[in-house]
Amino acid sequence: MAITTCVFDAYGTLFDVAAAARVLAEQPGRDRLAEVWPKLAEDWRLKQLQYTWLRAITGDHTPFWEVTKDGLDWALERQGLHEDLELREALLALYWELPAYKEVPFMLAKLKAAGKTCAILSNGNPDMLEGAVDSAGIGSYLDAVLSVESVGVFKPASQVYDLVEERFACNRDEVLFVSSNGWDAAGASAYGFTTLWVNRAGDPMDRLPGTPTHVLSDLTTVPELAA
């Protein structure tokens, strides 16, 4: 069946999650952050994801913003920066203004011109996602922004992927699900979606049930793939 609906993960897929630390490290007087920002950003993202997985297993759900703050606190402490409260607040503020990757607006515009339905399906809570979408200026290309908050569990729980069929009344084989997270693409493949893993880092394939249907290094050719 033809692809009618293109659904994107948000953080790391459409929005550059390393940008907050990178941008702040470029400011004058941020010498210590400039030395460690790549590792700080990596640890922040890793802990953010790990905490969603653990909370999904234990049932201790909390909004993604709380997970994001907890992950940052761990990453800051690892770098000996946890007592710099101004730095913490500055990083958190920038997380609401993450830029989209450079190819995202044109890619979404081409999908819409081709008549595809486009949406976000994210662990992020609605106000976080609204801030990121508005900051990146991509709201006009999206038919919906779906958050796990409506089901109270993080990806890759199947209840999250259910949201796509419920919102758009489409069949699973009409959906192209796109994520930069290998585990997310694998989970969506096992669920029944056609999937694209955006493997920006050139990582090995995850050893999980479900294998991504396609693998690309960025989002540029998604419209051609969807066609």
Per-residue confidence (pLDDT) for residue 200, from 0 to 100: 96
CATH of segment(s) 19-95: 1.10.150.240
pLDDT in tens, 122-161: 999 999 999 999 999 999 999 999 999 999 999 999 999 9
Say how far apart CA 50 and CA 154 lie, in whole Å.
11
Start and end residues for every CATH 1.10.150.240 domain found in the chain: 19-95
Return the beta strands (E) in 103-201 as ranges.
117-122, 144-147, 175-179, 194-198
Say how far apart CA 2 and CA 226 lie, in whole Å.
8
pLDDT in tens, 86-96: 999 999 999 99
Q: Is 84 a catalytic residue?
A: no
Start and end residues for every CATH 3.40.50.1000 domain found in the chain: 5-15+98-226
Whether the Cβ atoms of residue 140 and residue 28 lie closer than 8 Å to each other: no
Whether the Cβ atoms of residue 145 and residue 129 lie closer than 8 Å to each other: yes
In terms of Cα–Cα distance, which of 221, 226, 208 is closest to 104? 221
Per-residue confidence (pLDDT) for residue 75, from 0 to 100: 98
Per-residue confidence (pLDDT) for residue 114, from 0 to 100: 97
Its CATH architecture, for the domain 5-15+98-226, is: 3-Layer(aba) Sandwich (3.40)
CA neighbours closer than 13 Å in the CB half-sphere of residue 95: 25
Identify the segments of the chain with pLDDT beneath 50. Answer: none
